[in-house]
Amino acid sequence: HSRTTDPEAAIKLSARTSREVKAPAAVSKRMVQKLKGKNEFTVLATLKQDHLNSGVVLSIHHSEHRFLELESSGQRSEVRLHYRTKSHQDHTEVFPYSLADDQWHKVSVAVSASHVILHVDCNRIYERVVEAPFMDIPEDTSFWLGQRNSAHGFFKGVMQDVEILVMPQGYISQCPDLNRTCPTCNDFHGLVQKIMELQDILAKTSSKLSRAEEKMNGLDGCYCERTCSVKGVVYREDEGWTDGCRNCTCTNGTVQCEAISCPPPQCPAGTTPVYVKGACCKECLPVCLFGGRELVEGDQKAVRDSSGRCLLFECRVSQRSMHRVVPTDPCPELSCPESEQITLSSRCCKVCRGHDFCSEGHGCTEHSDCVNLEAGDCCVCKDGFRPLRDDNAYCEDIDECAEGKHYCRENTMCVNTPGSFMCICHTGYIRIDDYSCTEHDECLSGLHNCDENALCFNMVGGHSCSCKPGYTGNGTVCKGTSPLCPFTPSYLHSLNFDMRFTGLMTYLAWFWSHWTSRLPCTLLVT
């Protein structure tokens, strides 16, 4: 309840042989829930006890057990604290002091784990280390005021503001001037527990670091090989392979490739240089002579006899001659008019104009596209790639950045990409278009890390922060200090800024408007 000094709000207790002053069952139940298992609480009371009277101020009683009881003996001039310990033993702590002098007193007993403090009239009378009370209170416990039970420990006098505060140093509620200046015993015990936990963590961490250091020392003698992964194949350090028309090597985990240089072919008689599938350079292969032309293995030639019949011949190198091929399937029916049909030199069957020769198979590789022609197909390098051989079947990426073939402007960095390049803005700049960047004003956009009590100054590639007058720090964190008179030599000396002229004028304008409205001080001129 709220505290009062009104004597009419106090309760007067006489030494009758029969009375029952105790908390209602609902209040008792709430108090049991608050106190159960707690080891930090305070009992407070304001009382005037009759001379030489011995009586109980407050008793938390269940059956024959006193879980907590505050008693004042006028005959022995003692204040007694009765309670039960964790071992379920009854314990009494006696404080020699007389409260039964027919005078008003403020009394508080603060319990903090095994620490007990007795205050009388806001003076610390006793402070002791005892066996801690064990507040394992049953649900149907009674809270008696001015008596132990219905038959014993009657208090004679007047009392008011009897409270139980479940909090550290509850006596401050009764005596605000005794403000908390140091930790309670319970706080100290918690601190000790935390320190022990930290020591355990430190020991475990030190052990782990020691084991890790041993492993690292063992790794000093190990060679960690870096590998390269290309198209699902893993290559070891310094291992080489051929990728189309490039010789590649795995060097320190990075793939490095060089174009293969093909020497001019020196083919003997009866052979001719041709490209072979899977090889970059031309190889000398035997030829068949047919109609004054040189054909290689597998080449076909269609001719028509005097009757208009088509005959198909194929070069067979093993026989060094052309061998007639008899088609097993008839020519397919075409969907185009005869005027749109064309005759090919390598087959008997006609095809429609615009026929997709690429779909029948081609030798164009990863960075080369197959293009249909009037009577066949050819390979063309993709944009951003150049041919590695004259038929464009193999192509390599053009490094536009290294060769200066890019359009990146100032304040950007060129980065090569497969078949193209991209322009990356330097730090502190924002993009205008794909090739240009401009300076980014972090201060104006609010994208800075300056403290709210700091000034932001935009700079090339970034920004700087400086604490406002009356604050100190690195600009990102500023704390208040004792104000200095503006424009005094000592204060101007403390302004250790490095800024451009425009930034300085902005700062001085803010400085003048800020300080002239706050501090009445004299301008010192030296």
Q: Are residues 459 and 377 in the same domain?
A: no
In a domain, 89, yes or no: yes
In a domain, 265, yes or no: no
Give the integer Cα–Cα distance in Å for 275 and 202.
70
Q: Residue 357 gets which letter from DSSP?
A: S
* DSSP for 494-526, written as a single string: H------HHHHHHHHHHHHHHHHTT---PPP--
Give the integer Cα–Cα distance in Å for 139 and 62.
9
Q: Are residues 481 and 344 in the same domain?
A: no
pLDDT tens, residue order, the chain (526 aa): 334 344 455 677 765 567 889 999 999 999 999 998 888 999 999 999 999 999 999 999 888 889 999 999 999 999 999 999 999 899 999 999 999 999 999 999 999 989 999 999 999 999 999 999 999 899 899 999 999 988 899 999 999 999 999 998 899 899 988 875 666 677 777 788 889 889 999 999 999 999 998 888 877 667 778 899 998 999 999 999 988 888 999 998 899 999 898 888 899 988 889 988 878 899 998 888 888 788 888 888 988 888 878 888 988 877 767 888 887 788 889 999 989 999 888 888 999 999 999 999 898 998 999 999 998 999 999 999 999 988 999 999 999 999 999 999 988 999 999 999 999 999 888 888 999 998 888 888 888 899 999 999 888 777 899 999 888 999 999 998 754 444 444 444 444 444 334 444 444 444 444 444 444 433 333 2
In a domain, 376, yes or no: yes
In a domain, 72, yes or no: yes
Q: Is the pTM of this model over 0.75?
A: no
Q: Which burial class, exposed, middle or buried, applies to 65 when counting CB atoms under 10 A from its CB (0-12, 13-18, 19+)? A: middle
Q: Are residues 348 and 449 in the same domain?
A: no
Here the tokens at position 445 are 């956009």
In a domain, 435, yes or no: no
Domain count along the chain: 3
Q: Are residues 374 and 473 in the same domain?
A: no
Supply the pLDDT for residue 308: 79
Question: Domain residues for 500?
Answer: 442-516
Q: Cβ(374)–Cβ(365) under 8 Å? A: no
Q: Are residues 366 and 482 in the same domain?
A: no
Q: In terms of Cα–Cα distance, which of 67, 59, 219 is closest to 132?
A: 67
Q: Are residues 18 and 161 in the same domain?
A: yes
Q: Are residues 25 and 147 in the same domain?
A: yes
In a domain, 292, yes or no: yes
Q: Give the domain CATH number at 140.
A: 2.60.120.200
Please identify, among 176, 195, 217, the residue that sits at the C-terminal boundary of a domain: 176
Q: Cβ(455)–Cβ(510) under 8 Å? A: yes
Q: Give the domain CATH number at 485.
A: 2.10.25.10
Q: Are residues 313 and 460 in the same domain?
A: no
Please identify, among 154, 176, 198, the residue that sits at the C-terminal boundary of a domain: 176
Q: Are residues 382 and 461 in the same domain?
A: no
Q: Are residues 366 and 456 in the same domain?
A: no
Q: Cβ(398)–Cβ(386) under 8 Å? A: yes
Supply the pLDDT for residue 278: 79
In a domain, 47, yes or no: yes
In a domain, 87, yes or no: yes
Q: Are residues 15 and 128 in the same domain?
A: yes
Q: How far apart are the first and last CA of the chain?
A: 66
Give the integer Cα–Cα distance in Å for 339 and 352.
9
The dihedral built from the CA positions of residue 174, 179, 185 and 187, taken in this order, carries a sign that is: positive
β pairing state of 351-352 and 462-467: unpaired
Q: Are residues 493 and 388 in the same domain?
A: no
Please identify, among 176, 192, 222, the residue that sits at the C-terminal boundary of a domain: 176
407 residue type, one letter: Y
Tokens 């509620």 belong to which residue?
173
